[in-house]
Structures are given as structure tokens and as C-alpha cells.
């Protein structure tokens, strides 16, 4: 099976994924998935709240 097969050509992109538009699409999707994981998954929210609580108790800000 060679890369000239249309299915493999689509999957591997043949240079398509090297362009800026697909990379931006992946970045937007990744940012959305990260936001959803923080907002809607209780475990990640608890981890962040504990970290912020420890930093506030020490008098640090979020920037370090």
C-alpha cells in the first residue's frame, strides 16, 4: 500500500498539516478541551482551587 492511496493521503496529509490553518484549528480545539476539563470536571477544579488556596495562604500571586 502506498501513500498515493486516497485514505492514507488524507490521514497523513501529504503536507496539509504543515500549513498554519490546520495548526490553528488544532490549537482552538485544544484550548476548548482544556477549558472544558477545568470548568466541568470536578477533579481538575479541586486541584486548581487547592493550589490557589495554598498560594493565597503564603501570600503569593498567581504569576509566581
pTM of the predicted protein model = 0.48
Confidence at residue 32, expressed as pLDDT on a 0 to 100 scale: 94
Q: CA-CA distance, 41 to 25, in Å (whole number)?
A: 23
Tell me what pLDDT residue 19 has.
73
Domain boundaries, the chain: 32-57
- Grid cell of 35 as nine digits: 477549558
Neighbour tally for 10: CB within 10 Å: 10
> What average pLDDT does this structure show over 45-63?
80
For residue range 10-53, what is the model confidence (pLDDT) as tens digits?
666 666 666 788 788 889 999 999 888 877 878 877 888 888 88
Amino acid at each position: 500500500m502506498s501513500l498515493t492511496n486516497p485514505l492514507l493521503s488524507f490521514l497523513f496529509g501529504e503536507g496539509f498539516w504543515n500549513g498554519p490553518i490546520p495548526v490553528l484549528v488544532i490549537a482552538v480545539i485544544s484550548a476548548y478541551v482544556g477549558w472544558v476539563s477545568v470548568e466541568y470536571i470536578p477533579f481538575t477544579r479541586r486541584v486548581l482551587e487547592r493550589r490557589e488556596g495554598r498560594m493565597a495562604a503564603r501570600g503569593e500571586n498567581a504569576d509566581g
